[in-house]
Structure 1
């Protein structure tokens, strides 16, 4: 599909670039456009520019990894690539397919994706939605690019990107909050705060790795830890009560999904 143009090389863009190169993408096949000199990667064979205006050749695919609030300033120069048939893969939160159609033209081939921050360690998960003009081959290429930093799923209905954002896009923050809450509760029971935090971090990180490697569902893994009448069962009576964890998550994700929709509007 020709050269790849990466627009923006911050944390997520940089993580994706590292993943692509680790998977065998040749540096000579990538152009990185990043206005901040300190963020421009320095790798043999990799071309970097300060602005897309310096790119004269039409790339096969353009990955948009800039912040949503700067997207309006970036797109005008990129419309020429859309007119030449380039595929656009956007990882900017809240920027819809109709938004890109307004800025790049109604025939622009755009894939909108929502990755999450574990992409930094290639354990992320992304969900993508494609505009009508994107072919199966072009979708497969975008899938490969997203899988360089984790798993990738697709939805046909773009409206589902709002609950996706609420669940997996924002989800790492919920897990980090869980660690904070567990550590704080342990400290209240008399553990030294540093030890409580170390225990909480290791427990959540180790449980996540066990979940990743296991073929059993999360519910069964929970049961495996829970002895009848034991300490875990006693704690789960509280967490799984009618006013426990589930209604809190229901409200939290509904709020995040609603906000995602508001921001896209």
Structure 2
């Protein structure tokens, strides 16, 4: 299997690194294009993959093609590569807001392109990504397995209805930013109480990491896990009381609703 990447930003690098690490394919079976030779030289040095400045070449030589450019460039890039496409190739999109129907239209209505729409997130950079995935009707079971091996390379993935993809944007695609803000705020508070900043970040980040693993691995409701920490009349319930008083839950819900609306173009 030959895999091509058009675009090589952080997300593409995370995907490529995972694919190589998990031996989905060898580095020599990956072809990457980018807008500048300097970027390609860096990618070639870091990941040992093949590179080119020609997007059409990537499309022509790939069995699986990942479109990893910014969303506003999709229409332009697809026009460049459309003549090199056929109905055997699998195309993976990582752009928010670009529907399967829109992607099919860009390739031309007569060509039955096998399309996979995804929404990964930046924790893919450390192998802990979460990716929402949906397929069009031309994607076979073998195609799904091949795509799944790629997604497994940099984290976890779940198949969702396409109507849920905008919700995926808010709950996982954008949510690392919310978590980073939470970690930063906790660290700031610890610094205010006298803890060195580097140590504060480590305490806060490890607490978030450990708490997330408890949700995923223990199978308990988050509310039950929260109650396990809150002793009667203790320090934790006092902190929870203040968070509730300041509207933490409501703020998160409203922020995510705004994120989903933005993804939908509302």
Look up the match of 2:12.
13
Separation in 1 of the partners of 2:210 and 2:80? 46
Three-state SS of the structure 1 residue aligned to 2:265 is: helix
Q: Could you tell me which residue of structure 2 aligns to residue 130 of structure 1?
A: 135
How many pairs does the alignment contain?
Answer: 259
CA RMSD, 1 decimal: 2.4
Deviations 1:54-111 (A, max 9, x none): 3484421101111112222211122134334311001122221122112112322111
Unmatched tracts of structure 2, length 5 or more: none
Tell me, in whole angstroms, the C-alpha distance in 2 between the residues paired with 1:96 and 1:225: 42
- Give the Cα separation in 1 of the matches to 2:205 and 2:2: 41
Question: Structure 1 residues 179 and 151, CA, compared in 2 at 3 Å: closer, same or farther?
Answer: same
- Pick aligned residue for 1:239 from 240, 243, 265: 243
Task: Write the deviation string for residues 208-246 of structure 1: whole angstroms up to 9, x where unpaired.
Answer: 4554554444333322222121110111123245x6222
**Which consecutive aligned stretches of 4+ in structure 1 deviate over 6 angstroms post-superposition?**
none
Q: CA deviation at 1:249?
A: 1.5
Structure 2 residue 6 is the aligned partner of structure 1 residue 4:
no
| 1:255 equivalent in alignment to 2:258 | yes
Secondary structure in structure 2 of the residue aligned to 1:253? helix
2:127 and 2:175 map into 1 onto residues whose CA distance is: 16
- Could you say if the C-alpha distance between residues 36 and 181 of structure 1 is closer, same or farther in structure 2, counting changes exceeding 3 Å? same
- 1:61 aligned to 61, 64, 85, which one? 64
TM-score with structure 2 setting the length: 0.87
- Calculate the TM-score normalised by the size of structure 1: 0.87
- In the alignment, the residues of structure 1 paired with residue 214 and residue 88 of structure 2 have an alpha-carbon distance, to the nearest angstrom, of 44
Contact 2:31 2:49 in 1 (8 A): yes
